[in-house]
């Protein structure tokens, strides 16, 4: 089967697309409202530990079965992400702490908090949970899963969340560009003074943006831990939160473009996982192959940066005027 | 010149000088946030069925209650001081060097290479050579995101973190490949590591002089760290580079208009930061182990960021903050031994402390600024244009509002 | 209810009454028991110097600041206005001096923001409504255009439409003509007259006495937070108004020293760049002040920045006493003898967080006098410099250690001036040097600039204030859309210069 390897790599890339895209969407809402959120990694981490716990809890302990159990587990991860994000929100919106500073703190505290939660959730284990947790049944994409040459592998046994993530673009795009809520949210990020002068509450929409970012990133983390790996492991987010941030920047904060770049980076992540024996790549030592996603991200962001236009007021503390 | 008569001489200020007021204000804020964090931590402790006083006392005992404890604390603090200084140097210029983590990893590699290849040098020359090699390693790793930032504007938060990821793989490769040890006896089982460094190339134990157990690995690197803090203070406050860095970090447009080269300044800051970061790992490989192990200490770079914020990005504050952090870290051991509360509680406490400090710092800063403004206005020279400067700048059509816009109803719907 | 055209509201009951309004800021009493009455169908001018409190008063009325004392009555009822939303609900709208528009949004999106009429946006319906509204008041604007691409005059119309869309009856305009060309001002006045005919009330905040005399029905003068007079154009004159504003007879003309004009200090040829500069050419001689007149947005900023090295022009030459400097580094150009008073003193002049003495040395920290080997700063010497600057320029401050953010605008500008002139530059670039300053500070700055001329230096004055251009210039040129459109002697009448500002050479004027 000549294309098996690359097909499996594509299959893996869909998974990582899901993770990067969902996290990226979270970042999108936050930044569009004017709050820079580099704590996406930390929010994902919270999502991983709570999602892994939630999946087991709702499936086994509460006994909801293998459909609703994992689903509630994912939602639990999203909820916890949102709660944790509220810290960032309060710090940056109410107390006008520098956005980057707060984001860094979020990331670092998340690592410690995850250990603490793990200790509580997983019987005193603080860096991992038991493997083999429950997850949603995998699907085969009809039609595409009978492609010849090994290509069928690319579309087999995908988590339904992949489809959910891909379809997210519709409600996200619609809410941002065709609703009153979206108009107001975006104006908070472009010109909070203008927004405020028209009587719209800037803090309110920014809180919503940040909480949404927590929910999406938490969902993404929960997906990673519960659905992809099957357990929680410290460090399993691998910098994906930052890769998502890079993808968001390169896609010019556009949810449609983000799909493409999230997939592209997802593929870069898949390379060390499956394509170690591919031509050219196999010439590199193993550890260097693992560097590929990071190098790709750096090259992409260095190359694209000049051509993107962030929301004009993102990062400036809003106090009706200048920044910190 | 324009007004008749001589201008009054500059008033001799009998009021408190600005720096003292700001220092006192910050100290107060720090103590307040400490109190809040401890209080919040107490709630968690109670949830575990323990008495907060007991827990905090045992932390205190383990850290400051004995010479050994103090030795451990200072040894833990040493790398943190370097890390926090590295972060703060960049921060003064408005840059976020999150790549401190990766920079010290690479520095450990270059230091190891120096140790193992320059071992023909006598001790007094070998050790400085190794330190320099470490600093160079850190500088190189910091130069990459630095150059990218200056040339392409690539945001250093993302690039430095990516560099961290690459560095981790790089260390793994080095330890498995070129630096893999070849001095182990046949069949013996050892952790993956490099060869042991020559004894003359290590950082001597300081503990013996103070009655501290050698197990604490307290070394003269501590003094080096304090010297570094003083040097950084001097650099930021008393040199051209520090001045230009602060101007760039605070108001890049004005700095540029004044002839300062933003790119050159930023690059220099990255390099200095990288050099300082390079020294982080020296405590581990020169004082503690004497070789570079695969299970090296992870996270010192990130902890350094937290310590920098805790210390308000001020070299003096950083030294104290590092010690406070180390006290808490040492407390982990105490908890493990004598309490129901899991050791992870320490991490949460540290996190709480950071959050409260960062927030109260903001509040204190704003209060202070408002008070300064008030005092300037009330100093008796109420001119016509003493009203808050509403029309500075031509921001006409672009519309970003006036600087001193008071948010009368920011929280209302 | 429609009041007859031009009735000026005489005899009709007041629509809005501000009764003993007081507003304080830290250290400043911005409004001191101000009484004001607004009637339907009038244009009411509110004048005063910078810092007199006119903007503040209207912001209180518009709900942006809570008043510390006094009350507001609308149609005889006392009401509390706690936010702009309240103000709009009571029929009061405001267009700020600095527009608050969202650049990437369309005109329609900007207008409906906050008043969308439902969760799902119906852009087409909104656009229709806006087009009709604009037409009824003869406003020319395209509802589908993106704000970023509009001219300043068009943006202002959008701001006014924003208020009208919400059904306001009282429209407050804060320094509306500061950013308009003379012809756009004409258009605006036409719109205002139409609004007045329809019974609306316009509050016209301005310091431009000519315009006030032309358009206002009644004029209220504020000085240092207090009302010092209320009158009508027919009963007063520019000079009287100026005197009321300042409290003393105002000298608008300083003595211009006679100086031998020397060799060209600056020669600019075909300077082009970034769409904003389209082939600018002119010369400045030693002992001469060249005034570049023009409404903002025509390339002034780009010109100044290109000359000091903050921008590299795409093509063209700049010669400083014969040496080419286009595209050079700011540091080198400064050292070659160029001083720079920027338009925006916060963005390009001072580092607000740093102290006065630190700002005093900005640009000269490399001098051997102020720093030595390894970059060590001689702080004592720098503070001496700062003290000297404070003395000679009469900068009001407690000490040189205070943060410059605590200085008033006038003192900040004086500091910049002091710093730049200290190096005795051959060429001084002064861009909008007296923006936001009160009369005393303006006089001071003008005197400094004239002193430069007297010392045989060259000065390039870029200003949107014709008064300033007239007061200082030996020669005047106009800048329009990145080109020099005319050269005039210092006594040329304003109409001629206005034509140059519009882009037509004098001979082409009808």
Q: How confident is the model at residue A39 (pLDDT cuts 50, 70, 90)?
A: very high
Is B252 contained in some domain? yes
Same domain, yes or no, for C125 and C208?
yes
Q: Do C372 and C378 contact (CB within 8 A), yes or no?
A: yes
Structure tokens given for C489? 């002697």
Span C493-502, average pLDDT: 78
Structure tokens given for B92? 């003064």
Is C396 contained in some domain? no
Phi, psi of B97 (to 5 degrees): -90, 90
Q: How confident is the model at residue C4 (pLDDT cuts 50, 70, 90)?
A: very low
Is B407 contained in some domain? no
pLDDT at A33 over 80: yes
Of C246, C279, C301, the residue at which a domain comes to its end is: C246
Residues 6+ apart with CB under 8 A from C244: C221, C223, C228, C229
Q: Quick one: how many helices (H) and strands (E) in chain C?
A: 17, 20
Same domain, yes or no, for C346 and C494?
yes
Taking contacts as CB-CB distances below 8 angstroms, the residues of chain C near B18 are 401-403
Burial of C139 (0-12, 13-18, 19+ CB in 10 A): buried
Span A296-319, average pLDDT: 76
pLDDT at C174 over 70: yes
Closest residue by Cα to residue C159 from B399, A255, A23: B399
- Residue C102 forms contact with A (CB below 8 Å): yes
C24 Cα to chain B: minimum distance (Å): 10
Specify the 3-state DSSP secondary structure of C420.
Answer: helix
- Residue B264 forms contact with C (CB below 8 Å): no
**Poorest-pLDDT segment among A306-310, B273-277, C368-372:** A306-310
- The per-residue pLDDT for range A47-84, each reduced to its tens digit, is 999 999 998 888 888 777 778 888 999 999 999 999 99
Of C214, C246, C278, the residue at which a domain comes to its end is: C246
pLDDT at C6 over 50: no
Q: Do B120 and B297 contact (CB within 8 A), yes or no?
A: no
Task: Return the pLDDT at B343.
Answer: 74
Task: Return the pLDDT at B4.
Answer: 35
Same domain, yes or no, for C311 and C213?
no
| CA C434 to centroid of chain Cα atoms | 9
According to DSSP, residue A320 is labeled S
The parent domain of residue C25 ranges over: 14-246
pLDDT at B167 over 90: yes
Is C395 contained in some domain? no
Q: Using only C-alpha atoms, what is the Rg of chain B?
A: 25
Residues 6+ apart with CB under 8 A from C291: C461, C463, C468, C469, C470, C472, C473, C475, C476, C477, C490
- The per-residue pLDDT for range A182-207, each reduced to its tens digit, is 999 999 999 998 898 887 899 999 99
What's the pTM value of the predicted model, to 2 decimals?
Answer: 0.82
CA distance C233 to C118: 46
B122 Cα to chain A: minimum distance (Å): 35
CA distance A129 to C346: 54
According to DSSP, residue B296 is labeled P
Q: Give the count of beta carbons closer than 10 Å to the beta carbon of residue A132.
A: 9
Interface test with A, best of B347, B399, B404 (most A CBs within 10 A): B347
Helix (H) or strand (E) holding C278: strand C277-285
CB contact under 8 A, B173 and A302: no
Q: Give the count of beta carbons closer than 10 Å to the beta carbon of residue C26.
A: 17
Closest residue by Cα to residue B382 from C174, C495, C410: C410
Residues 6+ apart with CB under 8 A from A84: A42, A43, A46, A106, A110, A113, A214, A218
CA distance A141 to A214: 30
CA distance B2 to C110: 47
Q: How confident is the model at residue C12 (pLDDT cuts 50, 70, 90)?
A: low
- The per-residue pLDDT for range C263-298, each reduced to its tens digit, is 999 999 999 987 789 999 999 999 999 999 988 778
- Residue B20 forms contact with C (CB below 8 Å): no
Task: Return the pLDDT at B245.
Answer: 95
Structure tokens given for B24? 């006192």
Is B59 contained in some domain? yes
Taking contacts as CB-CB distances below 8 angstroms, the residues of chain C near B251 are 346-347, 350-353
The parent domain of residue B251 ranges over: 51-183+191-339
Taking contacts as CB-CB distances below 8 angstroms, the residues of chain C near A181 are 119
Task: Return the pLDDT at B376.
Answer: 63
CA distance B343 to A116: 8
Count of domains forming chain B: 1
Task: Return the pLDDT at A276.
Answer: 74
Closest residue by Cα to residue C372 from C291, B78, C380: C380
> Which has more pLDDT, C305 or B6?
C305
Structure tokens given for A293? 């996603």
Closest residue by Cα to residue B258 from A44, A315, A182, C361: C361
Same domain, yes or no, for C211 and C288?
no
Of C220, C246, C272, the residue at which a domain comes to its end is: C246
Q: Do C357 and C383 contact (CB within 8 A), yes or no?
A: yes
Residue C219's domain is classified under what CATH number?
3.40.50.300
CA distance B27 to B37: 15
CA distance C351 to C372: 23
Span C127-133, average pLDDT: 91
pLDDT at B81 over 70: yes
Same domain, yes or no, for C269 and C241?
no
Q: Do B137 and B111 contact (CB within 8 A), yes or no?
A: yes
DSSP B226-263: HHHHHHHHHHHHHBHHHHHHHHHHH-HHHHHHTT--HH
CA distance B91 to B101: 16
Task: Return the pLDDT at B19.
Answer: 62
pLDDT, averaged across chain B: 78
Burial of A181 (0-12, 13-18, 19+ CB in 10 A): middle
- Residue C99 forms contact with B (CB below 8 Å): yes
Helix (H) or strand (E) holding C32: strand C28-39
Is B31 contained in some domain? no
Same domain, yes or no, for C212 and C281?
no
Residues 6+ apart with CB under 8 A from C125: none
> Which has more pLDDT, C395 or A136?
C395
- Residue B177 forms contact with A (CB below 8 Å): yes
Same domain, yes or no, for C219 and C270?
no
Chain A residues 127-186 with a CB less than 8 Å from chain B:
none
**Chains near B (3 or more Cβ pairs under 8 Å):** A, C
CA distance B222 to B287: 11
Q: Do B360 and B32 contact (CB within 8 A), yes or no?
A: yes
Is B377 contained in some domain? no
| CA B177 to centroid of chain Cα atoms | 32
Structure tokens given for C468? 């300033």
Span A259-284, average pLDDT: 84
Q: How confident is the model at residue B186 (pLDDT cuts 50, 70, 90)?
A: low
Residue B130's domain is classified under what CATH number?
1.10.3470
pLDDT, averaged across chain A: 86
CB contact under 8 A, B309 and A319: no
Is C344 contained in some domain? yes
Closest residue by Cα to residue B195 from B276, B114, B127, B134: B114
- The per-residue pLDDT for range B190-225, each reduced to its tens digit, is 566 777 777 777 777 777 777 777 777 888 899 999
Task: Return the pLDDT at C385.
Answer: 94
Same domain, yes or no, for C147 and C114?
yes
Helix then strand then coil, % of chain B, to nearest 5? 70, 0, 30
Q: Do C413 and C382 contact (CB within 8 A), yes or no?
A: no
The shortest CB-CB distance from C85 to any of A179, A191, A199 is to A199
pLDDT at C113 over 50: yes
Q: Do B201 and B290 contact (CB within 8 A), yes or no?
A: no
Angle (CA) C255-C256-C262 rounded to 5° is 160
Is B43 contained in some domain? no
Residue matched to tokens 């996200």: A172
Task: Return the pLDDT at A302.
Answer: 86
- Residue C261 forms contact with B (CB below 8 Å): no
- The per-residue pLDDT for range C219-260, each reduced to its tens digit, is 999 988 889 999 999 998 887 887 787 776 665 567 778 888
CA distance A289 to C52: 68
Helix (H) or strand (E) holding B24: helix B18-47
Domain boundaries, chain A: 19-263
How many Cα atoms within 13 Å fall on the side-chain side of residue A35?
Answer: 38
Burial of B14 (0-12, 13-18, 19+ CB in 10 A): exposed
Closest residue by Cα to residue C310 from A84, B252, A118: B252
Count of domains forming chain C: 2
Span C353-370, average pLDDT: 92
* Maximum average pLDDT range among A266-280, B59-73, B239-253, B287-301: B239-253
- The per-residue pLDDT for range C161-173, each reduced to its tens digit, is 999 999 899 999 9
Angle (CA) A249-A255-A257 rounded to 5° is 70
Is B322 contained in some domain? yes
- Residue A292 forms contact with B (CB below 8 Å): no
CA distance C46 to C205: 5
- The per-residue pLDDT for range C41-92, each reduced to its tens digit, is 999 999 987 778 888 899 899 888 888 989 999 988 899 988 888 888 899 9
> Which has more pLDDT, B390 or C135?
C135
pLDDT at B400 over 50: no
Query: Which value does ipTM take for this structure?
Result: 0.82
Helix then strand then coil, % of chain A, to nearest 5? 70, 0, 25
Span C328-341, average pLDDT: 93
Tell me which chain A residue has its CA closest to the CA of residue B150: A302
Is B350 contained in some domain? no
Same domain, yes or no, for C24 and C79?
yes
Q: Using only C-alpha atoms, what is the Rg of chain C?
A: 24
The β-bridge partners of C428 are C339, C459
Task: Return the pLDDT at B293.
Answer: 82
pLDDT at C462 over 80: yes
CA distance B157 to A100: 9
Residue matched to tokens 């509306």: C176
Q: Do C292 and C479 contact (CB within 8 A), yes or no?
A: yes
Same domain, yes or no, for C291 and C211?
no
Phi-psi region of A76 (alpha: psi -120 to 50; beta: other; left: phi over 0): alpha
């Amino acid at each position: 089967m000549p294309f098996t390897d690359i097909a499996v790599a594509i299959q893996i890339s869909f998974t990582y697309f899901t993770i990067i895209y969902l996290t990226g969407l979270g970042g999108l809402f936050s930044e569009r409202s004017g709050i820079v959120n580099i704590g996406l990694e930390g929010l994902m981490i919270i999502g991983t530990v709570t999602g892994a716990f939630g999946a087991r809890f709702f499936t086994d302990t509460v006994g909801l079965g293998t459909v609703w159990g994992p689903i509630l587990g994912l939602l639990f991860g999203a909820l916890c992400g949102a709660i944790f994000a509220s810290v960032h929100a309060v710090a940056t919106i109410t107390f006008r702490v520098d956005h980057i500073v707060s984001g860094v703190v979020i990331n670092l505290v998340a690592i410690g908090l995850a250990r603490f939660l793990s200790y509580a959730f997983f019987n005193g284990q603080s860096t991992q949970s038991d493997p083999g947790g429950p997850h949603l049944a995998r699907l085969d994409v009809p039609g595409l899963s009978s492609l010849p040459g090994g290509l069928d592998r690319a579309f087999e046994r995908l988590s339904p969340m992949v489809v959910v993530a891909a379809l997210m673009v519709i409600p996200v795009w619609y809410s941002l560009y065709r609703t009153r809520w979206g108009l107001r949210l975006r104006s908070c990020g472009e010109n909070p003074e203008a927004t405020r002068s028209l009587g719209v509450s800037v803090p309110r929409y920014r809180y919503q943006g940040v909480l949404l970012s927590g929910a999406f990133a938490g969902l993404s983390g929960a997906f990673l831990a519960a659905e992809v790996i099957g357990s929680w492991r410290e460090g399993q987010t691998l910098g994906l939160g930052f890769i998502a941030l890079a993808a968001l920047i390169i896609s010019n904060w556009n949810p449609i473009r983000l799909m493409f770049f999230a997939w592209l980076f997802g593929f870069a992540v898949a390379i060390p996982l499956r394509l170690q024996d591919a031509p050219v790549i196999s010439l590199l030592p193993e550890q260097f192959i693992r560097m590929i996603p990071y190098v790709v991200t750096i090259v992409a962001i260095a190359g694209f940066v000049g051509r993107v236009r962030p929301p004009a007021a993102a990062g400036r503390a809003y106090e009706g005027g200048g920044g910190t | 010149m324009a007004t008749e008569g001589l201008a009054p001489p500059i008033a001799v200020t009998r009021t408190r000088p600005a720096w003292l007021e700001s220092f006192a204000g910050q100290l107060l804020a720090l103590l307040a946030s400490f109190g809040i964090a401890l209080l919040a931590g107490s709630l968690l402790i109670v949830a575990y069925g323990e008495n907060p006083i007991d827990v905090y006392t045992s932390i205190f005992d383990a850290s400051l209650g004995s010479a050994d404890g103090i030795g451990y604390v200072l040894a833990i603090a040493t790398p943190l001081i370097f890390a926090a200084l590295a972060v703060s140097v960049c921060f003064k210029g408005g840059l976020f060097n999150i790549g401190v983590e990766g920079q010290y990893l690479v520095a450990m590699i270059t230091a190891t290479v120096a140790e193992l290849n320059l071992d023909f040098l006598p001790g007094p020359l070998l050790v400085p050579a190794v330190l320099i090699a470490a600093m160079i390693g850190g500088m190189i790793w910091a130069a990459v995101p630095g150059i990218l930032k200056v040339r392409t504007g690539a945001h250093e938060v993302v690039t430095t973190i990516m560099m961290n990821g690459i560095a981790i793989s790089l260390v793994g490769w080095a330890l498995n490949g070129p630096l893999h040890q070849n001095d182990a006896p046949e069949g013996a089982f050892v952790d993956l590591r490099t060869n042991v460094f020559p004894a003359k190339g290590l950082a001597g134990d300081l503990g013996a002089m103070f009655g501290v157990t050698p197990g604490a690995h307290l070394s003269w690197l501590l003094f080096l760290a304090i010297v570094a803090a003083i040097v950084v203070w001097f650099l930021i406050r008393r040199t051209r580079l520090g001045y230009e860095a602060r101007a760039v970090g605070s108001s890049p447009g004005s700095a540029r208009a004044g002839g300062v080269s933003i790119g050159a300044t930023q690059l220099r800051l990255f390099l200095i930061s990288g050099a300082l970061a390079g020294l982080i790992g020296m405590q581990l490989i020169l004082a503690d182990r004497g070789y570079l192990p695969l299970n090296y200490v992870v996270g010192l770079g990130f902890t350094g960021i937290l310590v920098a914020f805790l210390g308000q990005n001020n070299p003096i504050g950083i030294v104290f903050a590092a010690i406070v952090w180390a006290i808490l870290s040492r407390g982990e051991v105490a908890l493990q031994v004598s309490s129901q509360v899991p050791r992870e509680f320490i991490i949460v406490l540290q996190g709480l402390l950071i959050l409260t400090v960062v927030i109260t710092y903001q509040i204190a800063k704003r209060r202070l600024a408002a008070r300064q403004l008030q005092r300037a206005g009330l100093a008796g020279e109420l001119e016509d244009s003493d009203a808050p400067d509403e029309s500075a700048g031509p921001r006409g059509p672009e519309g970003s509002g006036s600087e001193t816009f008071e948010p009368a109803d920011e929280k209302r719907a | 209810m429609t009041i007859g055209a031009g009735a000026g509201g005489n005899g009709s009951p007041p629509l809005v009454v501000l009764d003993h309004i007081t507003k304080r800021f830290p250290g400043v009493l911005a409004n001191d028991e101000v009484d004001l009455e607004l009637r339907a169908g009038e244009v009411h001018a509110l004048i005063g110097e910078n810092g007199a409190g006119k903007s503040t008063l209207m912001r209180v009325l518009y709900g942006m600041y809570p008043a510390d004392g006094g009350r507001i009555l609308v149609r005889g009822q006392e009401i509390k206005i706690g936010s702009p939303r309240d103000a709009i609900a009571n029929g009061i709208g405001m267009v700020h001096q600095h527009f608050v528009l969202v650049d990437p949004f369309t005109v329609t999106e900007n207008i409906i923001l906050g008043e969308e009429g439902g969760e799902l946006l119906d852009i087409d319906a909104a656009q229709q409504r806006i087009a009709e509204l604009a037409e009824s008041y003869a406003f020319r604007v395209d509802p589908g255009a993106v704000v970023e691409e509009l001219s300043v005059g068009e943006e202002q119309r959008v701001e006014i439409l924003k208020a009208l869309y919400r059904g306001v009856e009282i429209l407050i305009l804060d320094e509306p003509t500061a950013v308009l060309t003379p012809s756009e001002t004409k258009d605006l006045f036409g719109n205002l007259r139409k609004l007045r005919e329809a019974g609306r009330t316009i509050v016209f905040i301005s310091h431009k006495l000519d315009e006030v005399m032309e358009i206002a029905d009644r004029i209220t003068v504020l000085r240092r937070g207090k009302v010092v007079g209320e009158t009508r154009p027919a009963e007063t004159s520019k000079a009287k108004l100026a005197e009321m504003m300042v409290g003393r007879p105002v000298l608008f003309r300083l003595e211009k020293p006679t100086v031998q004009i020397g060799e060209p200090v600056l020669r600019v040829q075909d300077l082009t760049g970034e769409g904003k500069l389209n082939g600018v050419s002119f010369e400045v001689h030693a002992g001469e002040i060249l005034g570049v007149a023009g409404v903002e947005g025509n390339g002034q900023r780009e010109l100044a920045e290109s000359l000091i090295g903050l921008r590299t022009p795409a093509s063209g030459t700049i010669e400083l006493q014969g040496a080419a400097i286009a595209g050079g580094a700011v540091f080198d150009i400064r050292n070659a003898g160029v001083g720079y008073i920027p338009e925006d003193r916060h963005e390009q002049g001072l580092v607000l967080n740093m102290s006065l003495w630190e700002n005093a040395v900005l640009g000269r920290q490399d001098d051997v006098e102020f720093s030595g080997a390894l970059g060590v700063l001689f702080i004592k010497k720098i503070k001496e410099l700062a003290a000297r600057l404070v003395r000679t320029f009469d900068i009001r401050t407690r000490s040189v250690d205070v943060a410059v953010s605590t200085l008033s605008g006038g003192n900040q500008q004086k500091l910049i001036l002091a710093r730049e002139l200290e190096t005795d530059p051959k060429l001084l670039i002064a861009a909008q040097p007296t923006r936001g300053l009160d009369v005393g500070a303006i006089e001071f700055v003008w005197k400094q600039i004239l002193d430069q001329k007297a010392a045989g230096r060259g000065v390039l004055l870029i200003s949107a204030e014709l008064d300033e251009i007239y007061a200082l210039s030996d020669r005047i040129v106009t800048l329009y859309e990145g080109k020099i459109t005319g050269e005039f002697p210092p006594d040329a009448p304003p109409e001629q210069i206005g034509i140059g500002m519009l882009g037509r050479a004098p001979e082409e004027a009808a």
